[in-house]
Amino acid sequence: MFFILSRIFSYISSPWLYILAALTAAIFIKKKKAKIYAASAAAFLFLIFTNAPLYYAAEKSWVSDISSPIQPNKTYTYGIVEGGYSEYDSIRNRLEFYEAADRLIDAVMLYHKGTIKNIIISGDGSIVDNGGNKDVALEYLTTWGVSPEHVIFETKARNTKEHPTAILKLMGEQIKTEPVLIITSAIHIKRSLYVFEQAGFEVDGYAVDSTILHDRKWTEWLPDINLPTKWYWLLHEWIGNLVYRIA
C-alpha cells in the first residue's frame, strides 16, 4: 500500500506538474479570461518554484529543529544509512553516486571515529535485489577502510516506511535493544525517525546533505530552473510525513 502511495507522491510532489497543467490550460482553454488566468497561474508558479530565497526559507523552517550533534563519547552499535544515494552501473561494474552520497560518506567517517560500530545500508539502489550488486558496494567500503564484518546490507526495502520492518526481519527484534543512529538527508530525517520510533527502535538522527547553511548572494533572486527539483524533494517530505502520521 505504502509502496503505491510513494509512487503517487512522486507525481504529485513535482512542481512541473502544476506549471505544465496551467500552461496546458492556457493553450487549450477557449475563453479569453480563463486563458489569461491560466497563463498568469503558470507564470506565478514558475516564479515561486524558481525563487531561491523562498525555497531556502521553506527548507530552513522544515529542518531548523534538526541538528546533528552527537554526545561526546556516545557510541552506537549500528549506523543505519538509508538508501537513495547511488545506483549500480552494470556496464562499468561500479557505483554511481548522487547528491545524497553524504549519507554514506558521513557513515564511513563516523565508523572510523568509533561513533558507530557497524554500518547497515538499507534499500539503496546499489544493493537492492534485481538491479544492485552487494559485492561492488562492499568493495567500495573495504577500500575506504571499513571491515567487511562490520557491513550489513538490507536489500528488500523500497521506501522509507519499509526500512525498519525490513531491518527487523533481517536482524531480529534484538536490534531494538541496541543504540542506533539513523544517517540520512536533513529534509528526510523527520520522517525517518518517525517510522523507526513507531517500529519500536530507540534511535538518534544524524542529518547530512543540507543546503540551508551557505552565504546568500543577490543573484539568488534570479529564477533558478534547478530549484523545482529541490522543491520536489521538499514537497515529497511534507506530503509523506503527513500521510505517515494519519495513515
pLDDT digits (tens, 9 = 90+) for 73-129: 899 999 999 998 999 999 999 999 998 999 999 999 999 999 999 999 999 888 988
**What's the average model confidence in pLDDT over 24-30?**
93
Q: Over 80: is that where the pLDDT of 11 sits?
A: no
**What's the average model confidence in pLDDT over 134-138?**
94
CA dist 64 and 6 (Å) reads 25
Q: Over 90: is that where the pLDDT of 203 sits?
A: yes
Q: Over 90: is that where the pLDDT of 143 sits?
A: yes
Question: Which residues does 66 contact at the CB level (< 8 Å), separation at least 6?
Answer: 186, 189, 190, 205, 207
* Confidence at residue 217, expressed as pLDDT on a 0 to 100 scale: 75
Grid coordinates representing 73 are 563519547
Question: Which residues does 75 contact at the CB level (< 8 Å), separation at least 6?
Answer: 114, 115, 116, 117, 179
80 compared with 247, residue with greater pLDDT: 80
Place 211 in a pLDDT band, splitting at 50, 70 and 90: confident
pLDDT digits (tens, 9 = 90+) for 30-78: 899 999 999 999 999 999 999 999 998 899 888 866 666 677 789 999 9
Compute, in degrees rounded to 10, the torsion defined by CA atoms 193, 197, 203, 208: -10
Grid coordinates representing 4 are 503505491
11 compared with 228, residue with greater pLDDT: 228
Query: Do residues 81 and 144 lie in contact, with contact meaning Cβ atoms separated by under 8 Å?
Result: no
Exposed/middle/buried for residue 126 (C-beta within 10 Å: 0-12, 13-18, 19+): buried
Q: What one-letter code names the amino acid at 70?
A: I
Q: Over 70: is that where the pLDDT of 131 sits?
A: yes
Grid coordinates representing 141 are 567500503
Greatest mean pLDDT range, 9-13, 129-133, 142-146, 185-189: 142-146
Mean pLDDT, the chain, rounded, equals 89
CA dist 227 and 17 (Å) reads 14
Return the bridge partners of 88, or none.
95
* Confidence at residue 164, expressed as pLDDT on a 0 to 100 scale: 95
* Confidence at residue 23, expressed as pLDDT on a 0 to 100 scale: 94
Pick from 97, 88, 103: nearest CA to 136: 88
| pTM given for the model | 0.86
Place 1 in a pLDDT band, splitting at 50, 70 and 90: low
Tell me the percentage of the chain whose pLDDT exceeds 90.
67
For the domain 76-208, what is the CATH superfamily, name and number? HUPs (3.40.50.620)
* Confidence at residue 12, expressed as pLDDT on a 0 to 100 scale: 82
Provide the H-helix boundaries in the chain: 2-12, 15-28, 32-49, 52-63, 102-113, 134-143, 162-171, 189-198, 227-246
CA dist 119 and 111 (Å) reads 8
* Confidence at residue 212, expressed as pLDDT on a 0 to 100 scale: 62
* Confidence at residue 241, expressed as pLDDT on a 0 to 100 scale: 84
Domain ranges of the chain: 2-50+225-246, 76-208
Pick from 246, 225, 244, 243: nearest CA to 49: 225
CA dist 14 and 232 (Å) reads 5
* Confidence at residue 247, expressed as pLDDT on a 0 to 100 scale: 67
